[in-house]
């Protein structure tokens, strides 16, 4: 039986906010969607079954980390990333460009060869060209594949950002060619250009000419302010193709997500809910809670008395404070689940309010609270 083709449809709009559906052969994804980050073939401190119970419909893996450990052949030999990590959800894999910039001990960018870098784990040298990045992602059997791009650090140097953007466009063409024809998979282009309006628009238009299944905004969440990020999205919101998914990479806080949805973004990923959960920061509808704080030692109320998922409201702030202050693993597990569950509740409420034409009111109620 032929595999279902990748497809995207807009079901409803509320100004720029969009209610949509991504169809894949592994299942549908309601948008706006948040993707928990499973960098190394696991969402830290969670099982896949628990991730599914939160309402998550897609997760993210990473080419850079998986090529280093455990190695692509080890995953390919078992049938791909889904089989390796026992996950039947769709998986999007990042190309590794961001990690080359942020993690490698030593890296060199070569226009033709790609990224030449030393592993942050053991110093071993790796080569990651656009073609190799796509080959790895296809071997992982990802459902949504990202092009290889260069993700520069934040800078006001226009010429440096322009040169980097040009390199990413060159690699985008090579990535698309290496991807070939895979109708049941998708390949997304990545818009670069820093904080410069003209470069962002140029990058997007040239990526549209190449023709991708979706368009991601990269090069953000690298130190810019929220207002700077929203300004970039404001420049792009009238130019992004209406019939393709819009993905803001590596973002972010609940208020980041609300502001980005208001500007036409459909997909998000971020380590914040899991990383925060491991360090004692909980996201709730009443705001953020640092559960390590001494004031919770005698607070026997739950993080969220309305939470019914996983019966997380059975655990008091008092008990969670104890778990974190004694470095018990259960604390990280419970807060991570709480945070991912909260993020998925947020996405569900966003979709509900777009459907009801009340998104602006919902946005205004929570933009400064969450």
Q: Which residues are catalytic?
A: 94, 269
E strands, 79-200, in order: 91-94, 106-110, 114-118, 125-128, 144-146, 186-191
Is the separation of the CB atoms in 169 and 207 below 8 Å? yes
Is the separation of the CB atoms in 266 and 249 below 8 Å? no
How far does CA 365 lie from the centroid of its chain?
25
Reference 38, options 25, 52, 48, 23; nearest CA is 48
Count the neighbouring beta carbons within 10 Å of the beta carbon of residue 205.
Answer: 11
Rounded to whole angstroms, how far apart are CA atoms 250 and 80? 24
E strands, the chain, in order: 7-14, 17-24, 27-31, 33-35, 59-62, 91-94, 106-110, 114-118, 125-128, 144-146, 186-191, 214-217, 246-248, 267-269, 281-284, 287-290
Is the separation of the CB atoms in 24 and 90 below 8 Å? yes
Rounded to whole angstroms, how far apart are CA atoms 61 and 144? 10
Rounded to whole angstroms, how far apart are CA atoms 211 and 214? 9
> What is each CA distance from 188 to 92, 146, 301, in whole angstroms?
10, 5, 44
For 197, phi then psi, to 5°, come to -55, -50
Rounded to whole angstroms, how far apart are CA atoms 208 and 188? 11
């Amino acid at each position: 039986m032929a595999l279902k083709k990748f497809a995207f449809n807009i079901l409803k709009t509320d100004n720029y906010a969009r209610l949509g559906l991504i169809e894949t052969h592994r299942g549908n994804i309601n948008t706006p969607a948040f993707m928990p980050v499973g960098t190394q073939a696991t969402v830290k401190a969670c099982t896949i079954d628990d991730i599914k119970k939160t309402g998550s419909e897609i997760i993210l893996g990473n080419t850079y980390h998986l090529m280093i450990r455990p190695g692509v052949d080890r995953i390919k030999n078992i049938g791909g990333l889904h089989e390796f990590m026992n996950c039947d959800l769709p998986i999007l894999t990042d190309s590794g460009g961001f990690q080359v910039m942020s993690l490698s001990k030593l890296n060199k960018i070569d226009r033709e060869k790609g990224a030449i870098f030393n592993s942050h784990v053991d110093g071993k040298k790796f080569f990651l060209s656009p073609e190799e990045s796509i080959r790895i992602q296809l071997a992982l059997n990802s459902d949504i594949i990202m092009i290889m791009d260069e993700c520069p650090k934040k800078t006001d140097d226009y010429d440096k950002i322009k040169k980097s953007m040009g390199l990413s466009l060159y690699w985008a063409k090579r990535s698309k060619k290496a991807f070939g024809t895979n109708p049941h998979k998708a390949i997304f282009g990545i818009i670069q250009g820093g904080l410069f309006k003209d470069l962002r628009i140029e990058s997007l238009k040239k990526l549209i000419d190449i023709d991708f299944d979706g368009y991601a905004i990269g090069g953000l969440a690298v130190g810019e302010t929220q207002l700077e990020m929203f300004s970039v999205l404001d420049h792009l919101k009238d130019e992004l193709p209406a019939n393709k998914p819009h993905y803001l990479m590596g973002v972010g806080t609940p208020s980041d997500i609300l502001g980005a949805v208001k500007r036409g973004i459909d997909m998000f990923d971020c380590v914040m809910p899991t990383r925060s959960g491991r360090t004692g920061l909980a996201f709730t509808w009443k705001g953020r809670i640092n559960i390590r704080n001494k004031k919770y030692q005698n607070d026997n109320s739950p993080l969220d008395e309305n939470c019914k998922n996983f019966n997380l409201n059975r655990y008091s702030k008092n008990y969670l404070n104890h778990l974190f202050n004694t470095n018990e693993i259960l604390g990280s597990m419970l807060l991570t689940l709480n945070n991912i569950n909260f993020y998925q509740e947020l996405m569900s409420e966003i979709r509900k309010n777009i459907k009801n034409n009340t998104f602006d009111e919902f946005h205004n109620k929570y933009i400064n609270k969450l």
